[in-house]
Amino acid sequence: MANPSILILPGDGIGPEVMTEVRKVIDWLGARGHAFDVSEDLVGGAAYDKHGVPLADETMAHAQEVDAVLLGAVGGPAYDDLDFSVKPERGLLRLRKEMDLFANLRPAQCFDALADFSSLKPELVSGLDIMIVRELTAGVYFGEPRGIFEEGNERVGINTQRYSESEIERGARAAFELAMKRDKRLCSMEKANVMESGILWREVVTEVSKDYPEVELSHMYADNGAMQLVRAPKQFDVIYTDNLFGDILSDCAAMLTGSLGMLPSASLGAPMANGRPKAMYEPVHGSAPDITGQGKANPCACILSFAMALRYSFDLGDEATRLEAAVEKVLADGVRTADLMQAEGGSPVSTSEMGDAVVAALEASL
């Protein structure tokens, strides 16, 4: 059987630096019976420099064929003045749109060694492990009518929250499937008290739940959800919410865990012919131009994104857990990139030393 395929798109800024460390993990797995067919291509400013567009058509076509796309980051000051249509971010948005990646998975996991970095008290976040599933392709960011219109003697800005049953349902199924692989608890968040789309959301999620009797479903208004996330975040397992609320709630939950350099994400679409979902994995952070080329970037977010690929695209849950445990062990041993240093000091390791430490921890785990 052919090896599973991965398309790596390192992108701009620190993207290539952190992706080099992921390559070390891929090589380590390859030497231990889990080989991948890895190809690499350009996205963002790097693609613009070569092709005049932030994502070439051939790259897009290739992304549609592989089992998973792994993306670093796009953007940077050199591209800030480009026309909107060719800005680096357009490459990323094209991938999400054309692959129809409707479920955005944002874990908020707090490694014990980093509990002091959270804005909340360590006991509230230590051991935290939440998964937020945000519907990514519909809702108020896409609904029509939209625009700024003249009305009487002033202008009005309009955006439309619009959800069809099928859009709610497919994301809900992704969220329930995830809950089945975790603690079997799902909290759906909307504002059914003031929004019709919220009423429909609640009805559809309740209907889908009949297919997942083992999962305990609860409903919460999204504003209360925001409060609960900062009051007692450990009460949640999986949260399913719409595009707008998910945008805000996932950033809020992410900050509970400390550093941007630790946050992975996955975006999943419909199953392909081989049963694997269309998928793209990427760290939450951007291209960090302020530290590019200095060996300061923390590669953990990108490495943990690859762990999500192992779990959700390649059915290698044990290897994913091993990789996450390796990252946790390295942090527990006090190995830190600069972004994870406390004010009192110590000396940080470089991007490459962090990657090496994770691979060494993987090796030691055998």
Contact 173, 238 (CB under 8 A): no
- 17 binding ligand NAD? (CB under 6 A): no
Q: Which CA distances in Å does 206 have to 101, 187, 213, 352? A: 23, 11, 11, 47
Which of 98, 32, 108 shows the shortest CA–CA distance to 69?
Answer: 98
- 75 binding ligand NAD? (CB under 6 A): yes
Looking at beta carbons only, is 89 or 216 nearer to ligand NAD? 89
Q: CA–CA separation, 34 vs 22, rounded Å?
A: 14
Which of 57, 65, 290, 363 forms a contact with ligand NAD (CB under 6 A)? 290
Token reading at 51: 């092709």
Q: Which CA distances in Å does 346 have to 284, 301, 356? A: 26, 22, 19
Least distance from ligand NAD to the Cβ atom of residue 18, Å:
6
Q: Which CA distances in Å does 259 have to 111, 308, 340, 361? A: 11, 18, 7, 21
Pairing of strands 143-151, 154-160: antiparallel
12: amino acid identity, one letter = D
Is residue 116 part of the annotated active site? The answer reads: no
Contact 274, 63 (CB under 8 A): no
Is residue 184 part of the annotated active site? The answer reads: no
Phi, psi of 13 (to 5 degrees): 55, -125
Which of 55, 68, 105, 288 forms a contact with ligand NAD (CB under 6 A)? 288
Least distance from ligand NAD to the Cβ atom of residue 136, Å:
13
Looking at beta carbons only, is 63 or 217 nearer to ligand NAD? 63
Is residue 223 part of the annotated active site? The answer reads: yes
- 134 binding ligand NAD? (CB under 6 A): no
State the catalytic residue, choosing from 12, 41, 163, 191.
191
Contact 240, 167 (CB under 8 A): no
- 136 binding ligand NAD? (CB under 6 A): no
Is residue 251 part of the annotated active site? The answer reads: yes
**DSSP designation for 346:** -
Which of 298, 309, 310, 311 forms a contact with ligand NAD (CB under 6 A)? 298
Looking at beta carbons only, is 59 or 188 nearer to ligand NAD? 59
Binding to ligand NAD, residues 44-73 (CB under 6 A): 73
In this chain, which stretch among 19-27, 217-225, 240-248, 286-294 interacts with ligand NAD, using CB under 6 A? 286-294
Which of 104, 43, 108, 109 shows the shortest CA–CA distance to 79?
Answer: 43
Binding to ligand NAD, residues 257-276 (CB under 6 A): 260-261
Binding to ligand NAD, residues 85-124 (CB under 6 A): 89, 92
String marking each residue 205-244 x if it binds ligand NAD according to CB under 6 A: ----------------------------------------
Looking at beta carbons only, is 91 or 225 nearer to ligand NAD? 91
Q: CA–CA separation, 331 vs 325, rounded Å?
A: 10
Which residues touch 82 (CB under 8 Å, ≥6 apart)? 48, 88
Active site residues: 141, 191, 223, 247, 251
Interface contacts to ligand NAD, rule CB under 6 A: 14, 18, 73-76, 89, 92, 260-261, 282, 285-291, 297-298, 301, 339
